[in-house]
Structure 1
């Protein structure tokens, strides 16, 4: 067992975990933050994407101890209850960038990372950057439109 200290969605957190605990399991099983989904367990689908120190990470491929001392943001950390949705979340809502919703948290989080790295990306850039994030329900058009619109409305917001 190892004690780790994280900042999760802006809150200092300490966890005592077995060394082999994946970040996804620390978030879901120990902190009850179930927005990130475990889809493939092999880092192929991206449903488990969270941000670690501001960068998109597939949390099924990272040990929790590797995040010791880091800041972790999950989908739950984007908009607090009672607040308006984050512009990227709102864009997914407005453009119906989801169907079943299973991949949506990971898509939103990778969309934020795309916006961070590319500013206001065009659809071709988003399409290329989405490689490694899978959706089994849509044709991706609404997801791409959501990310393009969300990025355009972020105005320097993380």
Structure 2
């Protein structure tokens, strides 16, 4: 079990001790999509969705979620984030919305989980705000697209 960082010698779950790791600037980006009916997308574009400002509300929800990741994911370190940004763009080709998040901190551990949580909650908020007019929406393709900093260095899905 020694290769499993979140398990102690006794097999119990534990938070990894990062106290000996140096603080570095760490950034992560993640993305995801919400697919919906073309009519739903048009309602958001025309600002006639029943719950109002769908995109800006979902972007704010994603930012708030990034800040609360340690409350949601067991064994995730609470981090002082220096940046949390969520951008949602509509895409008629899906049809639906593309959600992107970027999260940054300076510390001993990365922010991939915070970026993924931001995207996930932003997608869930879009779903919640639009479910009254579209029951068939689909959330998917949530993934880390890039990370930088730390011992493992930089990585990008485009590389």
TM-score (norm 2): 0.26
Q: Which has the larger radius of gyration?
A: 2
Q: Name which structure has the greater RCO, CA cutoff 8 Å, separation 6+.
A: 2
Report the structure, 1 or 2, having the larger strand content.
Answer: 2
TM-score (norm 1): 0.26
Flag the structure with higher helix content.
1
